[in-house]
Structure 1
Amino acid sequence: MKKRYILAIIVLLSIQVQAQQHDTSPLVMEHENHPIEEDVNPKDDLRWGIKAGTNYYNLYGKEIDFIFANQQTSYKASFHVGIFVDTRLSNKFGLKHELLFNQRKVGVSLADDTENIYESTMTRNYLDLMPASITFQQGGLQLFAGPYISALLGANVKRKDEDGKWYADKDIYGDGANDESKTRYLQKLDFGLNLGMEYYFKNNLSLGARYLHGFTDLFQYANSYTQESSKTDAIKIYNRGWMLSCGYRF
């Protein structure tokens, strides 16, 4: 009886060995000939490029009329230009790094010496850094989101003098000593969130759109006593805007 059991075990083992030697399962063949996940091309791990486009910026917040003649502001078109670097971490995910010169214009309302209200434009020049936006890549389409930090390089608002002539008032930027006796002035740094999408064509051209939402109050308030104001906290006015870009990736 024992000999029969031993013989049966030997036969089963022989069959199993032969099956393994001739295994042609779909999973094995797919792994050998058609990998399930294609490796990232090494030349695509790091790509850089240039971009330029148009901006549409505005302000939001409950205290716009604390700085300007009323609460009404409007989107104004301007431009941006800069460089970017795309880093691929896997087939789908990566990081986007950008450095842009960004001119932001906003339509505002001002009052002259006789309290007549007129429409004007506030212009601000920023250096924008998007240090590391997380990207998701699907074919030519790239989705991204991440923080931005902006350094204010200069600013002015168009005003009318007593003769009705236009001039660029740069007091809104402040001076090197942050002289609080002149006027309320802009903060020198802005921080917020940017999110958007970009499409890369086979010829390395790209088209993109994004939304930016600021979280930093834009105006200093320390000199509000010169306006006989009792306000002692931050002036709640923030940036928001849209950017449309065209780029080329090397």
Structure 2
Amino acid sequence: MKITGCIFLLLLVMTSVAAQESLGFSLQVKAGWQRPRIYGAEKDSMSGYAKTGWILGLSALSPIGKSLVLKHDAWLAMQKGETRLDLFPVSAAYRKYDMEIFAGPYMGILLRADNYGNGSMENGYATKNDLGYTIGAGYTFRKRLNAEIRYVQGWSPLAENAGTKAQLKAYRQYLSFTLGYVLF
């Protein structure tokens, strides 16, 4: 019974993949680096946030027209002292001749930070969420390898004083470069 179930599941997955390929759906694994920067009036009070880090993630492309595509990305961004889940839920992309340009919203969720406070400290600590937008461009080589450069601009303050709840006017922005492999 287990063998029959496994064969059925394998056939179901293969049929789904074949159907998605005919529609142009694509799934990629990506890895790369990011170079963050802090901007804003109080950026000088935010030391240690602008460390180069690594990215691992997935990217899905859903075609909605001949050259228009919806792009969905989820990345695990790891820097010294901080780990985030960066989500790009839906970016509109224009694709032509294996090149693409895209733009859309961004959300960063803090998973781990060395300087995250317990709510009773009197100095700044990292906030959990970051919202903003992204723009970028990419190129696919031989239908399997993808290179992409992306700019992300955050709108949410990165830190606040735990005692007074005053937000520091310091925001995240970064430039990332990723290499991807198209699974299907």
TM-score range, shorter chain: 0.7 to 0.9
1:208 maps to which residue? 148
Summarize the Cα distance change of 1:67–1:131 in structure 2 as closer, same or farther, 3 Å threshold.
closer
User: How does the TM-score come out when normalised to structure 2?
Assistant: 0.81
Partner secondary structure for residue 43 of structure 1: helix
1:97-246 to 2 correspondences below 5 Å: 97-104=72-79, 123-156=81-114, 172-175=115-118, 179-224=119-164, 233-246=166-179
Is contact 2:37–2:172 with CA below 8 Å preserved after alignment? Answer: yes
Gaps of 5+ in 2: 1-19
Q: CA deviation at 1:46?
A: 1.0
Partner secondary structure for residue 51 of structure 2: strand
Q: Which amino acid aligns with 2:42?
A: E
Is contact 2:133–2:152 with CA below 8 Å preserved after alignment? Answer: yes
Q: Which amino acid aligns with 2:134?
A: N
Is contact 1:193–1:212 with CA below 8 Å preserved after alignment? Answer: yes
Q: 1 or 2 for the larger relative contact order (CA 8 Å, sep ≥6)?
A: 2
Give structure 1 regions of 4+ aligned residues with deviation exceeding 6 angstroms: none
2:55 maps to which residue? 80
Q: CA deviation at 1:180?
A: 2.4
Summarize the Cα distance change of 1:155–1:210 in structure 2 as closer, same or farther, 3 Å threshold.
same
- From the two aligned structures, give the one with the greater strand fraction: 2
Is contact 2:38–2:46 with CA below 8 Å preserved after alignment? Answer: no
Partner secondary structure for residue 125 of structure 1: strand
1:55 maps to which residue? 34
Q: Which amino acid aligns with 2:40?
A: G
What is the CA–CA distance in structure 1 between the aligned matches of 2:27 and 2:21, rounded to whole Å? Answer: 14
Could you report, residue by residue, the CA deviation over 1:203-225 in whole angstroms, capped at 9, with x for unpaired residues?
4111110101110001122425x
Could you report, residue by residue, the CA deviation over 1:183-241 in whole angstroms, capped at 9, with x for unpaired residues?
321110001111101101224111110101110001122425xxxxxxx7421000011
Partner secondary structure for residue 160 of structure 2: coil
What is the CA–CA distance in structure 2 between the aligned matches of 1:148 and 1:74, rounded to whole Å? Answer: 18
User: How does the TM-score come out when normalised to structure 1?
Assistant: 0.60
Summarize the Cα distance change of 1:140–1:44 in structure 2 as closer, same or farther, 3 Å threshold.
farther
- Aligned-residue identity in percent: 28
Cα-Cα RMSD: 2.2
Aligned length: 164
Q: CA deviation at 1:67?
A: 4.9
Q: Which amino acid aligns with 1:142?
A: E
Gaps of 5+ in 1: 1-40, 106-122, 157-171, 225-231
